[in-house]
Amino acid sequence: MELQDVIRRRRMVRSFEDRPIPAELVDRILHNATRAPSAGFIQGYAFVALEGPEQTDEFWRICHRGMVPSNREGVGAANLVVIPLAHKQAYLDRYSKPDKTRHGNRMDLEENWPVAYWDIDTAMASMNILLTCVDAGLGALFFGIFFGEKELLEYLGVPEGFKPIGAIAIGWPAEEGDPGGSPRSIARRDRSEMIHRGRWGGGS
């Protein structure tokens, strides 16, 4: 698929068919996640992939307190859940090295970072996942983990210092399903409201 088509067709999918994803597609999704940009080439992200009902059902049990139907409908039918994890300390360690501190920047101190690049880099890796899913004909939904994060990390054996920025449910889109999310009555904002050239209000 052409890149412009992938970007145009990307949307959050909330209803999936309960059928497996070929291993080669899972491999491509995870490989592309590792090709995202990263500050200082730290690559301070990691991913836990849960495949099939035996693994994904436990994720829903821990994190969503029964919100996902036990009969594996809607988002609960997704046969792959990927958890993107950010490793903050990897960035603080890298930016304490002489080649990064010689200009007087103390980026080894968390409060000196203008933004949390560990989260930004992991978010960009997550976008690689979303776009790869579209290219492969799959649907995906990025969503937050609001409950059970500590229990989930312990259950998965994730080392200390890694924190999920959310989770991505992936599967074959159901032809008929509840789209969920924001009402369809909400229109896409005009580009002139979002793009400002030269200065704010400069237009698109």
| Res 154: pLDDT | 97
Instruction: Please state which CATH number belongs to domain 3-194.
Output: 3.40.109.10
Identify residue 159 by its one-letter amino acid code: P
Stretch 73-84: mean pLDDT, rounded? 92
> Does residue 102 register a pLDDT over 80?
no
pTM tops 0.85, yes or no: yes
pLDDT beyond 90 at 155 = yes
33 has a pLDDT exceeding 70? yes
Per-residue pLDDT reduced to its tens digit, 158-200: 999 999 999 999 999 997 655 555 556 677 788 888 888 898 9
Distance CA 23, CA 155 (A): 24
Stretch 97-101: mean pLDDT, rounded? 78
CA diameter of the chain: 58
d(CA 90, CA 121): 12
The average pLDDT across 5-14 equals 91
